[in-house]
């Protein structure tokens, strides 16, 4: 009789404990986005912070995703009131400068903030190498399923969302993602022009 | 006497179980604030959950039907605007829902849709209530059963 009760208790407890253990392995802050693999939502936004050097874009100039086709795009949503954005600012700015002249576009998108405050913040942080655009009403942010800032989206050369990073992004991750997307774009371009014969199944690369 | 004591135990056990089930059911059905006056009727059933991850202070759970004044997250207000605009543009409630699901995943819905694995959320309470009721019946029958060694005088022997 006792062994029966023990079995019932075990059968009841094991699933509950298993569920709790499984829950402990998951990061509650990491909510998967449905966007990676899909075409990135289109946008046309105005520049409010120009950037520096060769990456500079005039204030008021519009940046549209359609015009960036063929480039890897790194979209970083940020705000002047966001403390975590301070952690990644220098890394992003430095890495963006390193990719000058390559088919990569770094773009800051101001989220729920005022352009004047955004510019003041950039000045306080010692400048930003790449341009930032304003997103009035957070329309583009909602289109990208933004939960908060900072969040960084990596778009491939075909305009698809390849990866979304939540929280401050490290220079290593930025380089890794940008390099891999640039390599994929170069390979695809070579395949399209017939310069490289496909030796392996490239369907996986196309699916991304 | 044994029967009476068994019935009392069963009644007490049943009352506690029902009270627990009641508390559980109440906990599973959070009280949502009423829709603000003047809100479009066709947005009544649409509830979008927004968990702002801006800062710790801004973390909150709100429904679309929350009163605007009580909504701390700016993003939730902007989402409301998007919902109203899409409804005004002639999109159906389901199309608006689908738009938000396509951007945020089903997580954005306050109430999960009843399909696939989500059915567990809807089926589990029913299963638990039925299981609890079955358990109560089983225990009542066991507690109120007349022992076989009730002694002479019973009409078992005939």
pLDDT of residue A201: 56
Q: What is the mean pLDDT of chain B?
A: 66
Burial of A125 (0-12, 13-18, 19+ CB in 10 A): middle
Of B128 and A27, which is predicted with more confidence? B128
| Nearest by CB: A148 against B53, B82, B103 | B53
pLDDT tens, residue by residue, A112-170? 999 999 999 999 999 999 999 999 999 999 999 998 899 999 999 999 999 999 999 99
pLDDT of residue A86: 96
Q: Which residues of chain B does A146 touch, with a Cβ-Cβ cutoff of 8 Å?
A: 75
pLDDT of residue A113: 95
Q: Which two tokens stand for residue A20?
A: 């709790």
Cβ pair A142:B105 closer than 8 A: no
pLDDT tens, residue by residue, B17-64? 444 444 444 433 333 334 334 333 333 334 444 443 333 433 333 333
Residue B4 scores a pLDDT above 90: no
Residue A185 scores a pLDDT above 70: yes
Q: Which residues of chain A does B55 touch, with a Cβ-Cβ cutoff of 8 Å?
A: 81-83
Which residue is closest to B54 within chain A, CA to CA?
A148
| Nearest by CB: B52 against A139, A143, A148 | A148
Mind telling me how many Å the CA of B101 is from chain A's nearest CA? 8
Of A206 and A149, which is predicted with more confidence? A149
Q: How far apart are CA B74 and CA B55, in angstroms?
A: 12
Q: Is B139 on the interface with A (CB under 8 A)?
A: no
Nearest to A163 by CA among A85, A100, A73, A97: A73
Q: Which of A137, A140, A149, A168 to mutate to test the interface with B (most CBs of B within 10 A)?
A: A137
Q: How far apart are CA A144 and CA A161, in angstroms?
A: 9
Size of interface A-B (CB pairs under 8 A): 53
Residue B71 scores a pLDDT above 70: no
ipTM of the complex as predicted: 0.82
Q: Give A3's pLDDT tier (boundaries 50, 70, 90).
A: confident
| Sign of the dihedral defined by the CA atoms of residues B104, A207, A150, A24, in that order | positive
pLDDT of residue A12: 86
Q: Is the pTM of this model over 0.80?
A: no
| Nearest by CB: B53 against A83, A141, A147 | A147
Mean pLDDT of B84-94: 95
Mind telling me how many Å the CA of B95 is from chain A's nearest CA? 15
Q: Which residues of chain A does B52 touch, with a Cβ-Cβ cutoff of 8 Å?
A: 147-148
pLDDT of residue B74: 87
Residue A109 DSSP code: E
Q: How far apart are CA A200 and CA B119, in angstroms?
A: 42
Which stretch of DSSP H or E encloses residue A49?
A: strand A44-49
Q: Which 3 state secondary structure label does DSSP give A39?
A: strand
Cβ pair A142:B75 closer than 8 A: yes
Q: Which two tokens stand for residue B61?
A: 């759970």
Helices (H) and strands (E) in chain B, counts: 4, 2
pLDDT tens, residue by residue, B145-157? 887 665 555 554 4
pLDDT of residue B46: 42
- Do residues A166 and A142 lie in contact, with contact meaning Cβ atoms separated by under 8 Å? no
Q: How far apart are CA A96 and CA B31, in angstroms?
A: 48
pLDDT of residue A195: 73
- Do residues A76 and A129 lie in contact, with contact meaning Cβ atoms separated by under 8 Å? no
Q: Which residues of chain B does A78 touch, with a Cβ-Cβ cutoff of 8 Å?
A: none
Cβ pair B105:A31 closer than 8 A: yes
Q: Tally the residues of chain A.
A: 208
| Nearest by CB: A31 against B55, B78, B107 | B107
| Nearest by CB: A137 against B58, B78, B107 | B78
pLDDT tens, residue by residue, A55-110? 999 999 999 999 999 999 999 999 999 999 999 999 999 999 999 999 999 999 99
- Do residues A162 and A155 lie in contact, with contact meaning Cβ atoms separated by under 8 Å? yes
pLDDT tens, residue by residue, A8-46? 888 889 988 998 998 888 877 677 899 999 999 999 999
Identify the weakest region by mean pLDDT among A10-24, B50-64, B66-80, B98-112. Answer: B50-64
Q: How far apart are CA A99 and CA B151, in angstroms?
A: 96
């Amino acid at each position: 009789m006792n062994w029966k009760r023990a079995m019932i208790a075990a059968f009841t407890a094991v699933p509950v404990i298993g569920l709790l253990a499984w829950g402990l392995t998951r990061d509650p802050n990491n909510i998967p986005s449905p966007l990676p693999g899909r075409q990135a939502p289109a946008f046309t936004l105005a520049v409010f912070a120009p950037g520096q050097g060769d990456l500079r874009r005039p204030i008021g100039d519009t940046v549209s995703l359609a015009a960036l086709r063929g480039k890897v795009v790194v979209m970083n949503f940020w705000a002047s009131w966001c403390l975590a954005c301070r952690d990644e600012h220098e890394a992003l700015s430095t890495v963006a400068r390193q990719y000058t002249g390559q088919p990569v576009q770094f773009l800051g998108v101001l989220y729920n903030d005022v352009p004047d405050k955004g510019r003041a913040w950039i000045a306080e942080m010692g400048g930003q190498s790449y341009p930032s655009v304003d997103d009035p009403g957070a329309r583009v942010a909602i289109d990208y399923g933004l939960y908060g800032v900072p969040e960084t989206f990596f778009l491939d050369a075909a305009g698809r969302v390849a990866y979304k990073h939540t929280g401050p992004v490290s220079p290593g991750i930025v380089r890794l993602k940008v390099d891999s997307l640039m390599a994929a774009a170069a390979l695809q371009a070579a395949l399209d022009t017939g310069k490289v014969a496909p030796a392996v199944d490239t369907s996986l690369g196309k699916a991304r | 006497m044994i029967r009476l004591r068994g019935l009392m135990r069963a009644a007490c056990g049943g009352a506690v179980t029902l009270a627990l089930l009641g508390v559980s059911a109440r906990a599973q059905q959070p009280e949502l604030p009423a829709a603000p006056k003047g809100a479009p009727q066709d947005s009544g059933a649409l509830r979008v959950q927004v968990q702002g991850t801006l800062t710790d202070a801004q973390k909150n759970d709100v429904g679309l039907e929350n009163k605007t004044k009580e909504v701390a997250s700016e993003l939730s207000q902007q989402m409301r605007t998007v919902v109203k605009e899409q409804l005004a543009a002639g999109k159906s409630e389901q199309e608006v829902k689908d738009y938000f699901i396509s951007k945020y995943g089903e997580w954005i819905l306050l109430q999960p849709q009843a399909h696939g694995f989500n059915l567990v959320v809807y089926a589990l309470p029913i299963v638990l209530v039925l299981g609890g009721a079955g358990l109560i019946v089983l225990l009542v029958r066991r507690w109120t059963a007349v022992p076989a060694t009730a002694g002479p005088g019973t009409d078992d022997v005939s």
